[in-house]
Amino acid sequence: MNNRIRWLRISYWTGAIVDALACIPLVNSDVWAFINQVPNFHAGWDFRYSQAFAAVFMAGWTVLLLWADRAPLERRGVLAITVFPVVVGLNGVRYMLYLGGLAAEPFTAFGIALPVTLTVLFLFSYFNSFRADISRA
């Protein structure tokens, strides 16, 4: 397997694993409250509906990344749209927690490190995939 495909596959699988793990707090509001450091949180049906709605899309994105892994070069665009608007948008939503008074601080260290790491990995893999394969020379 050449270097370009290896990096794409690392990105697809990393994204799929992170997305699958992200489904956990979306189906359990107690886990969501713990992760987002929201004390004394009791989810109503409206919030649970929103969580379930988001979980469906997160699970769908997990499958999309695994699908992209089946044809890594041809589907590399999935990484670009995973960064913009998905990763960027999810962090905007996280900031809304702070603005709405549900979180004491806008971002935790993990809340910054994970999206930045994913963004760098995905964009590196995406742009690296366009480089000529010098192993054939």
pLDDT digits (tens, 9 = 90+) for 92-110: 887 887 888 877 777 777 7
Q: What is the mean pLDDT of residues 64-71?
A: 98
Higher pLDDT, residue 134 or 72: 72
CA distance 23 to 10: 20
DSSP line for 20-78: HHHHHHHH-HHHHHHHTT-TT----HHHHHHHHHHHHHHHHHHHHHHHHHTSTTTTTHH
Give the mean pLDDT of the chain: 90
pLDDT at 137: 47
Contact of 9 with 125, CB cutoff 8 Å: no
pLDDT at 133: 63
Query: How far, in Å, are 12, 87, 136 from residue 19 at the CA level?
Result: 10, 11, 35
% pLDDT > 70, the chain: 96
Tokens 């995406």 belong to 126
Higher pLDDT, residue 133 or 10: 10
pLDDT at 36: 78
